[in-house]
Each structure stands twice: as structure tokens, then as C-alpha cells.
Amino acid sequence: MLEIGTKAPDFALPDQNGTVHTLEEYRGRKLLLYFYPKDNTSGCTKQAQGYSERLSAFAEKGVEIVGINRDTAASHKRFDDKFGLGFTLLSDPEKETLMAYDVWKEKKNYGKVSMGIVRTTYVIDENGEILFANDKVKAAEDPEKMLGILE
């Protein structure tokens, strides 16, 4: 996990509609950047729906929501369409941004070791510095917790 107070790594990744986004375009506003393992899985869906339900509350605080994982832009499009999420989902199949944000790690599941995304949430300030970082995310609780932190 990256340290609070450090400069957030830049990225250039396509969203669910094929539009490429960079960290620079969020300059001047806060960005909540969350990394999640997989579209259309129960925990990831609960987390995404939680953010979607609270979009206006985050917007009132001047915070943009962006989710990132390895799934394709087409997968993100289906996920967004199915649940009407209404925020940006970025695709990083090459894992460059996942590694830059230190979320691609060894994981253990029922004794099996594999590499994957550790669910992590970052808040990045208007100047591109990390304000908050959490890699002990509980998917269903994350959106409400982040609203509380932003108070």
C-alpha cells in the first residue's frame, strides 16, 4: 500500500466506454480510487452499488469515484449497464497501475496461494497526493466508511 502524503502514480486507462482517463484530469478535485478484484462478484457488486447509491453525497464533498481492476472495458460496460452504477470503471489488464498502486499481491484463499488484487481504497487530494489509504477493506462497508472519513 502506498504511503499517505506521497504523490499518487499517474495512469492512463480506458473506461467502460473506451475513453482513456488519466490522474491529471482529476487535478483540482478529490478522487476516491478503489481497486476491486472482479466485476459481477458478490462483494465487488455490493461495494460498487454502495458507491453508486452515495454518488450525490460524494459529489457534494467534491469527490469523484473511480474503480479499477483487470477486467476488460467490455466487462466493465456490462457491469455498469447491469447495475446502473453511474461512475467510471477503468480497465488495467496489463496490471501496470495495479502494481504502481501496490495492490497486485500474493493472496491466500483456503490454503491456495495466488496473485491477485487486494481490495484497496485511496483518497487522492486536489494536488495528486494520497490523503487516505486502506487495504483492509470490507466491500459492503467501504462506501459508508469512506463518506465518514471525508467528513
Known catalytic residues are 44
105 grid coordinates: 499481491
CA angle 78, 86, 128 (to 5 degrees): 110
Contact call for residues 30 and 123 (beta carbons, < 8 A): yes
Q: What is the largest CA-CA distance in the chain?
A: 44
Question: 110: phi > 0 → left, psi -120 to 50 → alpha, else beta; which?
Answer: left
d(CA 4, CA 122): 9
